[in-house]
C-alpha cells in the first residue's frame, strides 16, 4: 500500500502546469487608433498608424476574426467601444462584440457570456479602472471560461492601460505620483492572473511610475515588474516568451538580487530605499523571457 501511494505521489509531482496555447498582448495605453496626427514620440522608431491593433488582428491568424471588446472599466463604455469599432473597421474587421457591465450582479446573471467566450477568436480589455474588472468578473463563470480557453485554445487576449494591468497578479490599483515614493502607499490586489508573479504597469515612462513599481517588487522580490510605455506592447507566447512592439520602451524590474531595502520603515511615510534592484530597458524587436522562480502549479 505504501509503495502504491509513493508511486502516486511521484506521478503527481511529474505533472506540470499546462503551457498556455493562447497569446497575450499587453499594451501600455494610448495605442494609436488611426490618428494621422501622431502622438509622435522623439524616438528612432518610425511612427506607424494602427501598429499595435494591426498586430492584435494578425495574432488571431484570421482575416476577419470574431473580437469581443470589453469596456466595463470605463465610465464611457459606448464611446470607447465605438473608437475601437472605427479602428478595427479600418483593419477590415467587422465581427465585433461589445461586453460591458455596470455591476457584478449583471455579469453573474448574463447567461450568454460563456457562449460568447466559446465563439470568439480574441478579447480586448479597454482602459478605465482596473478594479472594476477584477471586482465585477473575479470568480465568475465568464472569467473561468476565458482563462480555460486561453490555456487550451489559440485565442488572443489583449488589454490596454487598466485592461492590461488586470491581466497580471499582483495588480496595482492605487498610488499616484504624489505618494509613489513613500513606503507602503501603493495599493495592490489580486488580478486575473493570466501572468502569475508578474506585475504590469502602464503609461510607464510618460507618468514616471518606476518607483511605484519598485515598491511592489521590493515587498515580494519573487515577482517581476513589467512597465509598458504608451503606444507600446509586449506579446507573450507560451506564458513566458515576450516580444516588444510599438514606438516606446518597456522597463522590466527584477528584485531577485536586492540586498537592502527600508521595509521596516514602510509604514512611516518616508521615501523608500532599495539597493541592487535590476532594470532592463527594452524597445521594439527586443525579447524578454519571464523567469520562473516558483515551481509551476495550478
Per-residue pLDDT averaged across 250-261, rounded? 97
Backbone φ and ψ of 177, nearest 5°: -70, -10
Q: What gap in Å lies between CA 133 and CA 261, rounded to an integer?
A: 32
DSSP 271: B
Give tens-digit pLDDT for 3-31: 555 555 545 554 567 899 999 999 999 99
Q: Which three cell numbers stand for residue 36?
A: 494621422
| Three-class SS state of 129 | coil
Pairing of strands 96-99, 67-70: parallel
pLDDT of residue 290: 96
pLDDT for residue 179: 63
pLDDT tens digits for 72-83?
999 999 999 999
Tell me the helix, strand and coil percentages in the chain, rounded to 5: 30, 25, 45
pLDDT at 2: 45
- Report the pLDDT value the prediction gives residue 44, as an integer from 0 to 100: 43
CATH number of 23-31+48-288: 3.40.50.880
Give the predicted TM-score (pTM) of the model. 0.91
pLDDT of residue 45: 45
Tell me whether residue 141 is exposed, middle or buried, using C-beta atoms within 10 angstroms of its C-beta: 0 to 12, 13 to 18, 19 or more: middle
Nearest to 124 by CA among 94, 173, 157, 155: 157
The band of 49, judged by pLDDT with boundaries at 50, 70 and 90, is confident
Amino acid at each position: 500500500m505504501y509503495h502504491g501511494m509513493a508511486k502516486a505521489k511521484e506521478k503527481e509531482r511529474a505533472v506540470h502546469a499546462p503551457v498556455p496555447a493562447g497569446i497575450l498582448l499587453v499594451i501600455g495605453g494610448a495605442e494609436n487608433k488611426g490618428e494621422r496626427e501622431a502622438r509622435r514620440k522623439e524616438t528612432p522608431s518610425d511612427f506607424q498608424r494602427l501598429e499595435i491593433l494591426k498586430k492584435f488582428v494578425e495574432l488571431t491568424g484570421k482575416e476577419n476574426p470574431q473580437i469581443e471588446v470589453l469596456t466595463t472599466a470605463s465610465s464611457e463604455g459606448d464611446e470607447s467601444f465605438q473608437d475601437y469599432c472605427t479602428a478595427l473597421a479600418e483593419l477590415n474587421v467587422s465581427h465585433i462584440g461589445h461586453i460591458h457591465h455596470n455591476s457584478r450582479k449583471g455579469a453573474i446573471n448574463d447567461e450568454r457570456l460563456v457562449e460568447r467566450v466559446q465563439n470568439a477568436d480574441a478579447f480586448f480589455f479597454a482602459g478605465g479602472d482596473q478594479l472594476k474588472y477584477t471586482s465585477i468578473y473575479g470568480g465568475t463563470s465568464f472569467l473561468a471560461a476565458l482563462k480555460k480557453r486561453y490555456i487550451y485554445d489559440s485565442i488572443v487576449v489583449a488589454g490596454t492601460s487598466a485592461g492590461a494591468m488586470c491581466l497580471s497578479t499582483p495588480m496595482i490599483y492605487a498610488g499616484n505620483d504624489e505618494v509613489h515614493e513613500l513606503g507602503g502607499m501603493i495599493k495592490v490586489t489580486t488580478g486575473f492572473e493570466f501572468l502569475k508573479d508578474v506585475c504590469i504597469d502602464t503609461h510607464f515612462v510618460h507618468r514616471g511610475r518606476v518607483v511605484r513599481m519598485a515598491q511592489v517588487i521590493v515587498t515580494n522580490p519573487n515577482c517581476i515588474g513589467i512597465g509598458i510605455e504608451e503606444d507600446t506592447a509586449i506579446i507573450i507566447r507560451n506564458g513566458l516568451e515576450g516580444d516588444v512592439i510599438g514606438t516606446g520602451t518597456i522597463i522590466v524590474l527584477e528584485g531577485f538580487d536586492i540586498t537592502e531595502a527600508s521595509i521596516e520603515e514602510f509604514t512611516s511615510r518616508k521615501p523608500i530605499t532599495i539597493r541592487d534592484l535590476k532594470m532592463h530597458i527594452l524597445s521594439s524587436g527586443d525579447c524578454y523571457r519571464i523567469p520562473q522562480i516558483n515551481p509551476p502549479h495550478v
